Amino acid sequence: MWEVRGALLFFLAACAATEPGEQTTNSSSAPTPPNIVILLADDLGYGDLGCMGSQQIQTPHIDSLATEGVLFTQAYMSASVCAPARAGLMTGRYQQRFGFEFNLVAPISGAPEQQGLPLTETTIATYLQGAGYRTAYFGKWHLGQSIPAFHPLERGFDEFFGHLEGSSNYWPKGEKSRLRRGREQITEPAVPYLTDALAEEACAFIHRQQDAPFFCFVSFNAPHTPLQAKPEMLERYANLKPAGRRKYAGMVTSMDEAVGRVLDALDKEGLTDNTLVLFLNDNGGAVGYNHSLNPPLNGMKGTFLEGGVRVPMLVRWPGVWGANQRFDLPVSSLDVLPTCLAGAGVPLPAELDGVDLMPHLAAGTGSNSGPGPHETLFWKLDTHAAVRHGDWKLIRLPDRAPLLFDIAADLGEFHDRTPEEPERVADLLARLEAWESQLASPLWRGSEAWREHKRQLYNNSYDRQQPPAPLPR
């Protein structure tokens, strides 16, 4: 059944990509599978792109994906911190199902062979590699490095350039560099600004692909700390205060220019029309750490408030999905794998939690009514968890009563509705507990200090207003 469904969607997508009246030169030839490019930001604020309402930060290339494709206004990651979110994205499954609940931030418990994406899990790259795709990963991995089997080259990628750890200096230097090409450390002193280097490597990979379709995953470490911006970017944002926000803005615009170079590479090779490009962020903005902002949302990275798990998500596939579209129903990062596989004509495995979005975006008309891809979404990290069912979201915390929000009526999560909705609270708690009964025990745990810090984030107050543009220079 899955094989027929995947092949049918691939055929329909290929037909949609053909201009009216266009004839193929060989009627027996199979449609060309699309190339796939995923662009992942790290700790980007929800409100820090032009297409998301920012008046401070210039992001024209990322914004172009919204004008030329589809903007998802209710896109969620499956986790509120880096590594678990990436595990869900890579597998299309709730990462708690295979024990990847906690972040890979030292110190952690557990044996070395457990501290990474379990070898029993299959990545999107492995599926595509098996379908004849050339695959490459550029940037931050953060899915395990304690044993060689966790390396990207062992998880479906033909090429790797980046760092295995959760962060890196933006000017990697000599023996202290975390940067690797394949398995070998890069120690040359003249490595360019890391965001630029990732774009250069991705573009070179694209230019080398002549025969097979390719899957290019660019995992920027920007704008994750450390806050390190290029001098020309600091000059561009000279009037933006405070200094940390100025550096952050420069890092985001550098990432935007890197995205622009990747899109230009596709144009130069004549690949734009047959390439599915997807941009998203790994979790909510790290407010207070990297000077990101999440307006109009409440919360930040590490929480299950909207500002911790709702992210910008944009997709472009010219001729298949319409330009300048909005999709206003909830979607998940878990949907990336099944959507890409369906677009490529690859059969979908039955055990996925993610949903193929192709039918919802068919014929370039994002459906904003009727049944959406997900009626219910879940989150869990240590002793706090959350469930969204319809428009209602409940957050369960260990040290206080649950929080209940009507997201449709109260996007900023100003009003806890728990006291007036006891039956709804009971229903959502039951749904959450039923889901939790299906999960594996965590393979490792973070330190108690790290866990307590995440719990305390719910006590903070978060700005939900977009700041004004800086004064002219």
The three state secondary structure string of 152-216 is HHHCCCCEEEEECCCCCCCCCCHHHCCCEECCEECCCCCCCCHHHHHHHHHHHHHHHCCCCCEEE
> What pLDDT, on a 0 to 100 scale, did the predictor assign at position 367?
54
- Catalytically annotated residue among 15, 51, 61, 142: 142
Phi, psi (degrees; rounded to nearest 5) at 308: -95, -25
Pairing of the two strands 184-185 and 180-181 = antiparallel
Please, are residues 151 and 160 in contact by the beta-carbon 8 Å criterion? yes
The confidence band for 420, taking pLDDT boundaries of 50, 70 and 90, is: very high
* Those residues with Cβ within 8 angstroms of residue 147's Cβ, 6 or more apart along the chain or in another chain: 112, 113, 116
Q: What residue segments make up the domains of the chain, in order of their start?
A: 7-12+32-374, 377-459
Query: What does the pLDDT average to over 395-419?
Result: 97
Give the position of tokens 């390396």: 151
Q: Distance (Å, rounded) from C-alpha 163 to C-alpha 182?
A: 10
Instruction: Give per-residue pLDDT as tens, 203-243.
Output: 999 999 988 999 999 999 999 999 999 999 999 999 999 99
Three-state secondary-structure class, residue 69: coil
Judge whether 7-12+32-374 and 377-459 match in fold: no
Query: What does the pLDDT average to over 367-392?
Result: 91
Query: What does the pLDDT average to over 134-145?
Result: 98
First to last CA, the chain: 61
Span 7-12+32-374: which CATH code? 3.40.720.10
If you count them, how many residues does the chain have?
Answer: 473
- Highest-pLDDT range among 110-119, 217-226, 313-322, 360-369: 217-226
Token pair of 251 as six digits? 């890092």
Is 415 labeled as catalytic in the residue annotation?
no
The confidence band for 9, taking pLDDT boundaries of 50, 70 and 90, is: very low
Nearest CA to 311 among 100, 48, 133?
A: 48
Going 326 to 328 to 334 to 337, the CA torsion angle's sign is negative
**pLDDT of 8 strictly over 60:** no
Phi, psi (degrees; rounded to nearest 5) at 233: -75, -35
> What pLDDT, on a 0 to 100 scale, did the predictor assign at position 26?
36
Q: Please state, rounded to an integer, the average pLDDT across all residues of the chain.
A: 92
Token pair of 180 as six digits? 């690797």
- Catalytically annotated residue among 15, 51, 61, 82: 82
Share of the chain above pLDDT 70, in %: 90
Query: What does the pLDDT average to over 106-117?
Result: 85
> What pLDDT, on a 0 to 100 scale, did the predictor assign at position 353?
99
How would you label 268-283 residue by residue, b for 16+ Cβ within 10 Å and e otherwise? ebebbebbbbbbbbbb
Instruction: Give per-residue pLDDT as tens, 16-47.
Output: 444 433 333 333 345 789 999 999 999 999 99
- Highest-pLDDT range among 76-90, 438-452, 454-468: 76-90
Q: Model pTM? A: 0.93
Please say whether the structural domain 377-459 has been given the CATH code 3.30.1120.10.
Answer: yes
Is 15 labeled as catalytic in the residue annotation?
no
Q: What is the CA radius of gyration of the chain?
A: 21
> What pLDDT, on a 0 to 100 scale, did the predictor assign at position 27?
35
